[in-house]
Every structure is written in structure tokens, then in C-alpha cells.
Amino acid sequence: MNNLIRFIAISILFLSPVIVYGDDIVGSGRCRICHKEEYEKFSKTAHKDTSGSLSPEQKKNKECLMCHSMDKEGKYMEIGCEACHGGGKYYSQEYVMKDKELARLIGLRIPDEKYCEKCHTQETPKINKMNIKEGMKKIEHKKEKETKKPDK
């Protein structure tokens, strides 16, 4: 059964051109339902809302929106969960998220330094050359592992 689900997921991934960005975005509010702690941590980072650094003209410029919005129309004026983890339309269902391999197969990305370089380039206006490893630490939002207290 798991193989059938994976086959269907892979088929959807390769047959649907929408999965890159656009109609597959569900918004960070959807992620927040299950990932409250991660959402709260991330919402305090510089990535949460980058629209304040854009002029009204830039908010209409698709080149600017490539990094400052999760879609090219400026509907989602934030660098939210899906800007780094990919549009959640297909992987955000609870039964999919419980199967990490399946979630990754149908679109969940675990961003790395290379992915950050899509926005943080040498040509990026107003962003100083950055150490991406250090920058990733600033936006870290993994859930804190609960430490088990020893039995007395």
C-alpha cells in the first residue's frame, strides 16, 4: 500500500507543473496548526515579512517578488514556511506529514545552504555578502527537544 501511495505521489510531482510555486501554496497559517512552536520562533525572524523593505513599485515587480514573496503576484508578501519548504498543497495533509519520505517525495523541501543562495546572491540589492551557515542559525526554528527528567 505504501508503494502505491509513493507511486501516485511521484506521478503527481512529475505530471503537475503547478508544484513549483503558485497554486500549491496554502499559507503559513496552515503550517501553524500543527507546528505552533516552530511558527512562533520563525515569526520572530527577519524572513517573516520582507514586504516592508519594498517600495510600492517593487511590490509589483516580479523580479523583486521572486525573493520577497512566495508567489510572483505578491499575494503572499512574506517569506513564510513554503518559501523554503515548498508549496504545501500536496504534503501538508496530516497523513502525508506523518510519512517523512512521502512528504519529501511530493514536495516538502528541507532547505540547505544551496537553496538559500537562490535569494542571497552577490547581485542581491542591499544584502551584504553573508555567511549562509551563520544566517541559517538566525532563522533556526526547529522544535525544542523535550528533555526527560530522570526518575528518582
Q: Which residue has the cell 544551496?
A: 114
Q: What are phi and psi of 58, to 5 degrees?
A: -65, -30
Instruction: Give the span between the Cα atoms of 115 and 21, in whole angstroms.
Output: 15
Q: Tell me which residue of 50, 83, 56, 84 sits closest to 68, measured CA to CA.
A: 50
H/E segment holding residue 117: none
Per-residue pLDDT of the chain in tens (152 residues, 90 and over written 9): 667 666 565 555 444 333 344 578 888 889 999 999 999 988 888 777 777 778 888 888 888 877 777 676 767 677 788 888 989 999 999 999 999 999 999 999 988 888 888 877 777 766 656 677 777 777 777 776 655 555 55
